[in-house]
Amino acid sequence: MAGMGTPLRAGVAVLSAMVLAALGAAPQAVAAPEVPTIVVQDGVTQPVFGYADAIRERLFIDSTFDSDNDGLRDIIAFDLMRPAATANGLKVPVIMDASPYYSTVCRGNESECKADLDGDGLLDRWPLFYDNYFVPRGYAVILLDMVGTNNSTGCPTTNANQDNLSAKQAINWLNGRATARNAAGQVVTADWHNGKSGMIGKSYDGSLAMATAVTGVKGLTTVVPISGPTEYYDYVRSNGVVTRGNSYVSSLANTVTNPERREYCKPVRDAMGAADGDEHGDYTAFWNERSYVKKVPNITASVLLYHGLNDDNVRPDHFSKFWYALAENNVPRKLWLSQEGHVDPFDSRRAVWVSTLHRWFDFWLHGVANGITDEPRVDLERAADVWETHADWPIPGKADTEVFLQPGTTGAGGLDLVPTAKPATGAFQDSRTQTQNTMILNPDAVQPHRLAFLSAPLTAPLHISGTPTVQLRASADQTDTNFGAILVDYGTDERVAHRASGEGIITLTTEDCWGLSSPTDDGCYKQTAKRVATADYELVTKGIMDAQNRQSIRTAVPLVVGESYHFSFPLLPEDYVFTPGHRIGVIIVASYPQYSSQADTTAANIKVALKSSKIVLPVVGGTTAAHAAGL
């Protein structure tokens, strides 16, 4: 292979000099061995370096924080793999996946854990394909143990500063601003590093990549967050409503802590549980350090962002708020949106994802001019394995379009682009036990615990792209209640089955391989296929709010019984096309148990003033397109 030729050429030069000396001839000056280099062909780096012979290290850095309050700075551990040629002058960038999961939940569709099989303190099995694929192409790979997990000391703090700053320690070391030691205590330097690093990871790992980026740390050149939380308040709350309660924040910290350290870290978890505000759901200072969107102006790295539009774990408002902020700050960026749930793109669109990731890292970390930044900014999955590209997201040409709630005569109300001519009222009673299916099904029937509004069958496609908003004028006979809204597509179609097992994919028994192997680690993974299903409707998007947080998520203000208020709250972002013949449905409820962990207990009777109530849809083509579709 091309990358293995350097030692051979050096050996030939030495042999020639020896032959000349034996013949009595004056020896020629021997050329210095060539410094090994990457090989670029067809616009991408080639696998010219070995994998089995790659240098493997485990290093430890003294951090700048003390998460467990033991009076000692936490030690952050990470495993490093780099091409053997880096010992002979090859300069390479780093791809890092910082994670809390390497010894507990583990990584990827096949739940791979780190493994030291022979007990020598070095990894033999490396989760995920990054090492197998990228090390032979001239990259180093770091798998970093977040504070309090695996080989790092301290205690996890669920996206607080100690978690967020874990990976920054390694970036600082790579750039000569921190000291790392091996297990023997010897200082180790990164004299092989080219000064550029990228971070990647899914879910918690993705949030750690963003958390590192928003510090503005020098040397972090690009990040690839996959389905990661960007506002931890939004992960466990929504507009004042608790969506994940019972001290979920401390519970997650317990999950990622090694079992033998869980009792030791209990005081840290207890402190989080006491401060997380489960009792009210309001935004407090607890969430400030767990917020990345407001810190986007600090980012100096480019961003390749991936999210499933139907992710009900890390919901899509995490990508959208971050994406909007990236755009406002002109951060170099690219976006992939799929139809699956909480699924890695490696298991959704494998070959294209690996190719895209390869070219993205080559451009930003090796400086390979491959044109990836000249391509359309957005890849979007419209239907199962049917992908589109767009110049940006939301799709250019979208305009917020008001669609007003209309009174019905005997069944559901209607939807129209103009408000009802005469004042009208819709009334229902909150039910804390009403299921999501009851809310959605039989939309033409009058039910006591919801309001339903239906369009006529559409006469042309209607494309929404962005974040819908519901605006209600309503009153209640209690001082507190919740509001929920659901946007539904009523029409039979085959769609990605993102609510079924696998969240839209089926894991097959066959494998394919992505990279080179060693005797203990290969780059082979089970293939997947899309899981699809035909259904009569699709829940397109949804949203909730606490009526007491109508003015601010920071402050709850009780309602005055019988007084009308303006309530405005966003639904989750979407990119969806309603097809001709289908009907658009808007469902209004109070408590929404399938979305929140703490349904309201007041059983309030609610009245909605329809003339002043509407849903604002981000329609591509705006009012003109809505008219053409028959709204």
pTM confidence score: 0.93
CA atoms of 584 and 353, how far apart (whole Å):
33
Give whichever of 26-35, 270-279, 325-334 has the largest mean pLDDT: 325-334
Alpha carbon of residue 187 to chain centroid = 35
Options 2.60.120.260, 2.30.300.10, 2.70.150.10, 3.40.50.1860; CATH for 400-629 is 2.60.120.260
Lowest mean pLDDT among 288-297, 327-336, 408-417: 408-417
Catalytic residue among 103, 152, 203, 475: 203
Q: Give yes or no for a contact between 200 and 95, defined as CB atoms under 8 angstroms apart.
A: yes
Q: What share of the chain is helix, strand, coil (3-state, %, to 5)?
A: 25, 30, 45
Residues of the chain with CATH 3.40.50.1820: 40-390
Q: Tell me what the mean pLDDT of segment 56-60 comes to.
A: 98
Give pLDDT, residue 30: 58
Give all strands (DSSP E) within 316-468, no chain letters.
Answer: 333-338, 378-383, 386-390, 398-406, 413-416, 425-429, 451-454, 462-466
In the predicted model, what is the mean pLDDT of residues 387-414?
95
Of 311, 430, 521, 575, the active-site residue reads: 311
Residue 203 appears among annotated catalytic residues = yes
Average pLDDT over residues 210-218: 98
Classify strands 425-429 and 605-609 as parallel, antiparallel or unpaired. Answer: antiparallel
Amino acid letter for position 613: S
Q: What is the pLDDT of residues 347-370, one digit of tens each?
A: 999 999 999 999 999 999 999 999
Tokens 């021997």 correspond to what residue?
30
Residue 358 bears catalytic tag: no
Mean pLDDT over 433-444 rounds to 96
Mark whether 342 is an active-site residue: yes
- Taking 50 as the threshold, does the pLDDT of residue 15 lie above it? no
Instruction: Give me the chain's average pLDDT, please.
Output: 94
pLDDT number for residue 29: 56
pLDDT of residue 32: 62
Residue 11 confidence (pLDDT): 32
Per-residue pLDDT tens digits for 293-318: 999 999 999 999 999 999 999 999 99
For residues 458-480, average pLDDT: 98
How do residues 570-625 score in pLDDT, each as one tens digit?
Answer: 999 999 999 999 999 999 999 999 999 877 889 999 999 999 999 999 999 999 99
- At 70 the three-state DSSP class reads coil
pLDDT above 80 (res 450) = yes
Please state, in angstroms and rounded to a whole number, the distance separating the CA atoms of residues 256 and 147: 10
| Sole residue written with tokens 């109070």 | 590
pLDDT mean over 92-111: 97
Residue 17 has pLDDT above 90, yes or no: no
In this predicted structure, the answer to whether residue 3 has a pLDDT above a threshold of 50 is: no
Say how far apart CA 363 and CA 300 lie, in whole Å.
16
Predicted local distance difference test score (pLDDT) of residue 13: 35
Geometric angle at alpha carbon 168, from 164 and 174, rounded to 5°: 165
Structural domain 40-390, CATH architecture:
3-Layer(aba) Sandwich (3.40)
Q: What is the pLDDT at residue 598?
A: 78
Residue 31 pLDDT level (bands cut at 50, 70, 90): low
* 111-134: pLDDT as tens digits: 999 999 999 999 999 999 999 999
What is the distance between the alpha carbons of residues 16 and 610, in angstroms, rounded to a whole number?
93
Q: Name the segment(s) of the chain with CATH classification 2.60.120.260.
A: 400-629
Q: Is the pLDDT of residue 6 over 80?
A: no
Confidence of residue 448 (pLDDT cuts 50, 70, 90): very high
pLDDT of residue 409: 80
Mean predicted confidence (pLDDT) in 329-334: 98
Task: With beta carbons less than 8 A apart as the criterion, state whether 240 and 281 touch.
Answer: yes
Q: CB-side exposure of 229: number of CA atoms within 13 Å?
A: 20
Cβ 431 vs Cβ 603: under 8 Å: yes
Strands, E assignment, 292-424: 302-308, 333-338, 378-383, 386-390, 398-406, 413-416
Supply the pLDDT for residue 329.
Answer: 98
pLDDT in tens, 503-547: 999 999 999 999 999 999 999 999 999 999 999 999 999 999 999
Quick: pLDDT tens for 218-248: 999 999 999 999 999 999 999 999 999 888 9
User: 524 near 511, Cβ under 8 Å?
Assistant: yes
Query: Per the residue annotation, which of 193, 318, 342, 390 is the catalytic one?
Result: 342
| Contact indicator for 225, 305 with CB cutoff of 8 Å | yes
